[in-house]
Amino acid sequence: MQYTIFLFLLFNASISFGQQNFVAIDSLSSECSNTLSEEYQKKFETINKNIVLKKAAEKKLVKELYREMQQDFLEKIKEKEFICNKGLDKYLKELMDEVLTRNKINTQDYKILLSKDSKINAYNTGDGTIVINYGLFLAVENEDELVFVISHEIGHQFLNHVKNGIETYAKLSRSESIIAKTKEIQRQKYGKATKATNLMKNIVYEDYEKRRKKEIEADSIGFVFYGKTLRNPKAAVDILAKLDLSDIERDSLTVADYKFIFERNGFVLKQKYFNEEKSLFSKYDKMKGINVDSLKSHPDCATRIKLIEKKLEAKFSETYSSPKVFSEIKKNSIYQNLYNLYSLKQYGISLYESLKLYKKQTDDPVLQKIIYLNLLKIYESRINYTINRYVPAHDNLNNSDSLNRFVSYLNNIKISDFETIINNFKS
């Protein structure tokens, strides 16, 4: 197929995007992937051998939970979800080691990885590994903010939050009260769903409160670790304020936007392409009574900000560290995240985010090319009836109205019209 040939020629190894002189950082090589996989297999074997719990049932469950987490992590390595780049790896390790060394923590016990994930986040896996999502660079404005995030994740590891969380979960799931309540619900003739939902809400809120407490603890000790670097302390407040808004979709695509973008050379979009198929279960899509903040990636940032502000001195510098290496990463972060989504085969989201940018920058050759490539892949998935693998499903609970409209559009558009759109973007 002519599109596939074009795709191969365009995305071979390092990718340069025309006039903008943007070169995408490719995924980790097979050699790097194999090395990383071997390293973590050995690490996981050691961890599993050293699991010690008194109750056999709890120990068995803990081992199962660890294996699931470890298998998931190894699968991410296999699928090349981490970026292997000597320059970036060295830079991030230097930032992490700066925090560890200043706080007299053994640098050999920690490792930092860069994920292709576009979510504005970072996380600690509990085994000394800190993962920075490339999407975080969309939020951080300077190196100091990035270093505070790293300090926060070091705090999670230092306090053994992951290990303690797994063991607590194992004890909770085996607790007599939860088992008794579950059996009681199963015996009910009427109202099972309501009682099960209420039990689930209690567990969700308890989990949320624990998660919130852990985040505050990691902020607190992370701020102490960060303070030893002598970087701008206000960066901690700044990045938390940005993370608080990270779950909010900043822009959207209206029907008028689709017409503006795609109606070219006499082609006209049909209104029916945007019709949404209502689910029979739509009334259950929004669960009433669940605290929205409990579902956020970064819970209760407002409280966390106030707690850190109490530790700030009255006066502090307005100067932040932003060396050239950080500025280069930041400059390319929007394009790189779109490419990362594409390389992870998340063609739908890559296209969606690209179109939101393109409607304001229709002369941007990088966006044009990314849109074209994603259209090709989604077109192929429509032909092969595999679109659900690459485009998110219609979801009234988790998707915005804009994203649901986008999903409807891609599923409803006629194949012949899809081909017309692709040809219009080919040039």
- Crossing angle for the helix pair 324-343 and 347-358, to the nearest 10 degrees: 120
Burial of 272 (0-12, 13-18, 19+ CB in 10 A): exposed
Retrieve residue 115's tokens.
Answer: 């994920």
Which stretch of DSSP H or E encloses residue 129? Answer: strand 129-133
Pairwise CA distance, residues 371 & 54, whole Å = 56
Tokens 């409280």 -> residue: 303
Gap between the Cα atoms of 197 and 257, Å rounded? 40
CA separation for the pair 74, 59 (Å, rounded)? 22
Beta bridge partners of 24: 15
Q: What is the pLDDT of residue 183?
A: 62
pLDDT at 262: 95
Q: Which residues pair with 82 in a beta bridge?
A: 115
Q: What does the DSSP assignment read for 218-236?
A: HHHHHHHHHHTTT--THHH
- Could you give the CA distance from residue 316 to residue 118 in angstroms, rounded to a whole number? 32
Residues with Cβ within 8 Å of 324's Cβ and at least 6 positions away in sequence, in order, are none
Q: Which of 134, 127, 126, 51 is nearest to 89 (CA)?
A: 134
For residues 267 and 420, what is the distance between their CA atoms, to the nearest angstrom? Answer: 8
In a structure prediction context, what are the per-residue pLDDT tens digits for the chain, which is 427 residues long?
Answer: 333 333 333 343 334 454 457 888 866 677 788 899 999 999 999 999 999 888 888 888 888 889 989 999 999 999 999 999 989 999 999 999 999 999 999 999 999 999 999 999 999 999 999 999 999 999 999 999 999 999 999 999 999 999 988 888 777 776 666 556 656 656 776 665 556 556 555 544 457 678 888 999 999 999 999 999 999 999 999 999 999 988 889 899 999 999 999 999 899 999 999 987 655 445 445 444 434 443 355 678 889 999 999 988 765 667 888 899 999 999 999 999 999 999 999 999 999 999 999 999 999 999 999 999 999 999 999 999 999 999 999 998 889 999 999 999 999 999 999 999 999 988 6
Give me the pLDDT at residue 318, please: 75
